[in-house]
Amino acid sequence: MAAVTGSKIDYQGGRWVVPEHPIIPFIEGDGIGPDIWRASRRVLDAAVAKAFGGKRAIVWKEILAGEKAFKTTGSWLPDDTLAAIREHRVAIKGPLTTPVGGGMRSLNVALRQLLDLYACIRPVRWFAGVPAPVREPQKLDVVIFRENIEDVYAGIEFEAGSEKADKLRDFLMQELDVKTLREGSAIGVKPMSKFGSQRLVAKAIQYAIDHRKPSVTLVHKGNIQKFTEGAFRDWGYQLAKERFSAHTVTEADAGTGKRETGKVLIKDRIADAMFQQVLLRPDEYSVIATSNLNGDYLSDACAAQVGGLGMAPGANVGDGYAVFEATHGTAPKYAGQDKVNPGSVILSGVMMLEEIGWLPAARAIIGGIEGALGAKQVTYDLARQMPGATEVPTSMFADAIIAHLT
């Protein structure tokens, strides 16, 4: 049978334009990457085939990064790889080794900058059967939108005792009336713009509307940092009012009885309180929009609550570009053993299918994972905590998911 030739995904008027046979670049990743990618690709292909009866299919295009790229091309991150992602717009990747000693660009940083991937999106939900440290893990089902460019990711900081730090201290004290700033301090700058904050919140609200989610919570530390974190909250509410008033209502307005059914509730929580809330009243939260550092902590805390990072997917998304990825690393001690859990990459693939609008295929995989977990045919990480489970290799876990596709 002749190989299907694919075509490129496009982006017009704020929407993806997806052909029947889109070319999607993939980076298999280092360490356990090849094992989990091989398994994930089979699951994704089987789900698309099942959902669309062969009418649609992904045409995979391998691109290189990490150790494989270094061995083949002498570069950890070839320019061709960045160019291919830019050209094809949607890509998926396994974990990559971070070489010790520096001197190499991080793919994630390079992509964030090149493609302006300003939203880091992490859905966190529990799958029945997965061991979790809380009594009712099923109550947490959130999608966290974390700003990906500003705040601490802007990387503006000056070393303690350096000339620049001292200069900045002098400027702050002499020109800007800062009263207390200890001599020899390291100084970090936390930039948060209205533009950057509002486009992140807009993505979160649009997601909530499209997926019929009940609420969007703005998480911030505005009680302490009024002009950065507090402004994030204010800009978020302002945006909801100005751009999404037909579809949203604020908690303050809803409290006065103005809640209309079907509208997305916009609320805000202070970050430290939010960590308690997701533990104590998780079912009151749905979509979360937050600044960079808050989101970093909150994503991993939520993932741990439902059974850890092994099954947590992620995506970096901008306007017209999206890169989906495993959230764990390369686990080198298990490389090539067909042993580890491919769930994180598979669920990143689910996010990708949802993003490009291939929802039946995404749903088929969720059903498949639930089925495999229900049959207790799972990889070692889950088997060691699930009474009565059968430990299966990566490839057989994929087989079990495929067998249970819905």
Q: Is residue 328 close enough to count as binding ligand NAP by CB under 6 A?
A: yes
Distance CA 132, CA 284 (A): 19
Distance CA 402, CA 46 (A): 7
Site string for ligand NAP, 31-70 (x = CB under 6 A): -x---x----------------------------------
Give me the least distance between CB of 139 and ligand NAP, in Å please: 25
- Distance separating the N- and C-terminal Cα atoms of the chain: 27
Tell me which of 310, 313, 349, 368 binds ligand NAP, using CB under 6 A: 310
Answer yes or no: are the C-beta atoms of 388 and 376 closer than 8 Å: yes
Tell me which of 34, 131, 214, 329 binds ligand NAP, using CB under 6 A: 329
How many alpha carbons fall within 13 Å on the CB side of residue 346?
Answer: 35
- Specify the stretch interacting with ligand NAP by CB under 6 A; choose among 8-16, 124-132, 202-210, 339-347: 339-347
108 burial (CB, 10 Å; 0-12 / 13-18 / 19+) is middle
Q: How far is CA 158 from CA 154, 306, 364, in A?
A: 13, 38, 49
For the question of residue 203 being annotated catalytic, the response is no
Of 151, 296, 381, 399, catalytic = 296
User: Which one, of 180, 151, 163, 126, lies nearest residue 302 by Cα?
Assistant: 126
For residue 362, what is the enclosing H or E element? helix 359-374
For the question of residue 221 being annotated catalytic, the response is yes
Give me the least distance between CB of 318 and ligand NAP, in Å please: 18
Give me the least distance between CB of 205 and ligand NAP, in Å please: 27
Per rule CB under 6 A, count of chain residues that contact ligand NAP: 16
Task: Specify the residue, 168 or 309, whose C-beta has the smaller distance to ligand NAP.
Answer: 309
Where do runs of H (alpha helix) occur along 178-321? 194-210, 231-244, 251-253, 271-280, 292-305
Max Cα-Cα span within the chain: 75
Q: Is residue 331 close enough to count as binding ligand NAP by CB under 6 A?
A: yes
Where do runs of H (alpha helix) occur along 30-129? 33-52, 66-73, 79-88, 107-115
Q: Is residue 330 close enough to count as binding ligand NAP by CB under 6 A?
A: yes
Answer yes or no: are the C-beta atoms of 319 and 11 closer than 8 Å: yes
CB-based contacts of 226: which residues, under 8 Å, 6+ apart? none
Q: Is residue 96 close enough to count as binding ligand NAP by CB under 6 A?
A: yes
Of 153, 207, 237, 285, catalytic = 153
Q: Is residue 97 close enough to count as binding ligand NAP by CB under 6 A?
A: yes
Q: Is residue 146 close enough to count as binding ligand NAP by CB under 6 A?
A: no
Task: Specify the residue, 168 or 335, whose C-beta has the smaller distance to ligand NAP.
Answer: 335
Q: Is residue 198 close enough to count as binding ligand NAP by CB under 6 A?
A: no
Tell me which of 341, 361, 369, 372 binds ligand NAP, using CB under 6 A: 341
User: Which one, of 20, 26, 146, 150, lies nearest residue 95 by Cα?
Assistant: 26
Give me the least distance between CB of 132 and ligand NAP, in Å please: 16
Q: Is residue 81 close enough to count as binding ligand NAP by CB under 6 A?
A: no
State the residue for tokens 């495993």.
326
- Specify the stretch interacting with ligand NAP by CB under 6 A; choose among 40-48, 132-140, 265-273, 327-335: 327-335
In one letter, which amino acid is 182?
R
Distance CA 370, CA 330 (A): 25
Of 68, 93, 213, 221, catalytic = 221
- The residue with its CB nearest to ligand NAP is 329
Tell me which of 22, 25, 95, 282 binds ligand NAP, using CB under 6 A: 95
User: Which one, of 94, 39, 79, lies nearest residue 378 by Cα?
Assistant: 39
- Specify the stretch interacting with ligand NAP by CB under 6 A; choose among 57-65, 80-88, 122-130, 324-332: 324-332
Q: Is residue 294 close enough to count as binding ligand NAP by CB under 6 A?
A: no
Give me the least distance between CB of 3 and ligand NAP, in Å please: 30
Applying CB under 6 A, the residues found at the interface with ligand NAP are 32, 36, 95-98, 310, 325, 328-331, 340-341, 344, 381
Catalytic positions, written as ranges: 153, 221, 272, 296
